[in-house]
Amino acid sequence: MAKKKIAFFVGGVGGAVMANTFKPFTKRLDLNFIVSVFDSGGSTGGLRTTLDVCAPGDLRNIFIALLDHKDKKLVDFWVKLLSSRFQCNGDFNGHSAGNILVSASEIAAGDIEKGMDLLEKTFPTCGKVIPVSKEKSHLAALAKRRGKIVGEYELDKLSEDQIKDLWLEPNVKITKSAKKAILDADYILVGPGSIVTSLAPLFQVQGVSSTIKKSKAPIMFIGGLMGPKNWNASHQINFLKKSGLPRIDIAVFNTKPLANKKDLEAYKEENKKMPEIDEENIDPKIKIIKSKVASTVPAQKIKGDAIDRSVFRHNPKKTAKVILELL
């Protein structure tokens, strides 16, 4: 039986969750992760400025999650090696070894698309990590009371409901690899990932939306776990469609609340909550799936990582169960 091909549109953290989610099923599934290269913060931002490369961070996250070899001790070493961050007094402080490897691969190969392809031939993986574009660009937005803002790192400081409009500067084109992954896909999965800074930019790339329109593959959206107080499930869907995602056929939303009181209070201080699943405001053509797909264990911060990341993540096994039942 031929493998079912899945094209994922994901953020770096959410993509790593999906990679771990579907890793046990690669005998029946062909995994292709289409990833943004427009981040500008932390180690990624420093390398972009210093080396004039595409953003390596999200690519690195998913690449590490897809590492696969019969010698599990070797895989554990690779993961530890590429996830490690330098802590020192100097230019390397805070940089991820994996980010440096991805950036070096881009330089050595001539572009990030070729670089990732050669990395996957060097390190065995159970799926492909595909840059959505090989051209350099930055995320820009028009924000309420702030005007124009440039850079994903700056936009991450804002609440999603503050963003009025979103675009890329300059506009860039889709890679051949991403286009092929979309056209070959039996299923297209969108998310998890930050709606505004990780997922929406993928559909801003010239050629992505038009290529998806040519596909007959069902499109499934994995909804975000947290968001602004006045943002519900319909707001997530509408923002993605406004950003260029042509359609959504199925949407999966979590119903399991965050149990850790400390983290819950932290989200409350940021005026964030779990989105209400307001089906009355969602296109009736979209099939809504409600399920307890969130993890009960908060994600741990990686030592040396300067970026403030979400601690509330999807549970790989529970998420896989829901999605596989729909495939």
Mean pLDDT, residues 88-106 taken together: 89
Query: Tell me, what's the pLDDT at 171?
Result: 97
Q: pLDDT tens digits, residue range 63-72?
A: 999 999 999 9
User: CATH number, domain at 155?
Assistant: 3.40.50.10680
Query: Tell me, what's the pLDDT at 311?
Result: 61
> Residue 43's closest CA among 29, 33, 35, 53?
53
Judged by average pLDDT, the poorest of 7-11, 18-22, 311-315 is 311-315
pTM: 0.92
Residue range(s) defining the domain that contains residue 192: 4-326
| Residue 144 burial (C-beta neighbours within 10 Å; 0-12, 13-18, 19+) | exposed
- Count of domains observed in the chain: 1
* β-strand partners of 129: 33
Confidence of residue 264 (pLDDT cuts 50, 70, 90): confident
Distance of alpha carbon 280 from alpha carbon 234, whole angstroms: 9
Q: pLDDT tens digits, residue range 229-240?
A: 999 999 999 999
Confidence of residue 87 (pLDDT cuts 50, 70, 90): confident
CB atoms within 10 A of CB 49: 10
Q: Given a cut of 80, is residue 308 above it in pLDDT?
A: no
Mean pLDDT, residues 276-295 taken together: 96
Query: Tell me, what's the pLDDT at 259?
Result: 66
